Amino acid sequence: MANSGTQTYSAPSGSGTPRRSIGKRIAKEFRENAWLYLMCLPGVLTLLVFCYLPMFGLVLAFQKMDYTKGILGSPFVGLSNFKFLFTSTDAWIITRNTVCYNIVFIIVNMSLSIGFALVLSELRSKTFAKTMQTIIMMPHFLSWAVVAIIVFAFLAPTNGYIPSLIFQLTGQRVNFYMRPSFWPGFLVFLNAWKGIGYSSVVYLASITGISREFYEAAMIDGATKGQQIKYITLPHLRAMISIMLIMSIGSIFRGDFGLFYLVPMDNGKLYSVTQVIDTYIYRGLKELQNANMTAAAGMYQSVVGFILVIVSNKLVNKIDPDYGMF
């Protein structure tokens, strides 16, 4: 039988590209991107020192702290600290306040931020648009300590602006720091006032990244501004909204310490509406010096927050895998 004229060559044994070890690949990666890793180094070290090293203290949640023996020598008590925490009324109060406040914060802040971003994107005057961005962004850079002083100037019982005005009009003295019913709505307002500036700029950046060709085609077809927002802008914002929502849900068990501690001036009369997990942990260490209970509350906060991030991300991935964070 005649040969077809083609020859088949087989590589000699032992030849071919040798497989690099994982160590060599890592070394090559570091050599090629050394400057990038050096730029990341300060942030990584800061994360390790301030976020991961303190996690060793979570062991206190399972111990009865004995200061003479130290952390490693203190007796192990298992879940006793958690049992004491959850059988007390404090667990219900701090959980209710933290979760309910954050749910309202997420709904209000996200709605207002998207609304402000849509309005800013439609402004024709660039100068006016930049001015408005600056105005709504300024509260974000204020410390809660400064905000607390401003609030006290308005609400101080004796010479505050609002109580003085009420006294002049009605002849009655009003002490807002003794009225728990006033504070839930007021705290929601302060959180929105301080937070929507940053979020609206994030959404505005996403809106400006949308190609103008979509809007031009919509205008040719006779679409109104409302229809353009509904069918073009909001669908393009879904990815950013999903990311911001997942991050917000992950923080739903974390209370803003400055908002709930500094602004109400640590008033015991308002604990029923201002006590959240973060202020509970701080007061437990400062006043009761109960490191075990506060460590248990902190671990409870962290574990639930972690679970919420995982669950919310999985839900988003089921709806649309492109919008999940991981």
Tens of pLDDT along 144-168? 999 999 999 999 988 899 999 999 9
The CA distance from 102 to 187, in Å, is 11
Task: Give the closest residue to 110 by CA, choosing from 314, 271, 246.
Answer: 246
The CA distance from 93 to 116, in Å, is 34
- Chain centre distance of CA 41: 24
Tens of pLDDT along 239-259? 899 888 888 888 888 888 999
Structural domains in the chain, CATH included, are 22-61 (no CATH), 79-323 (1.10.3720.10)
What angle do the packed helices 144-155 and 161-170 form, to 10 degrees? Answer: 10
The CA distance from 121 to 208, in Å, is 7
Q: Residue 274 in contact with residue 97, Cβ under 8 Å? A: yes
Tens of pLDDT along 256-303? 899 999 999 988 899 999 999 889 888 888 877 778 888 888 888 888
Q: Which residues of 53-73 are buried (b: 16+ CB within 10 A; e: fewer)?
A: eeeeeeebbbbebeeeeeeee
With the CA atoms of 216, 218, 220 and 226 taken in that order, what torsion angle do they form, in degrees rounded to the nearest 10? -110
Task: Give the closest residue to 253 by CA, choosing from 140, 118, 64, 106.
Answer: 106
Residues 6+ apart with CB under 8 A from 215: 228, 232
Beta bridge partners of 76: 63
Model-level pTM? 0.80
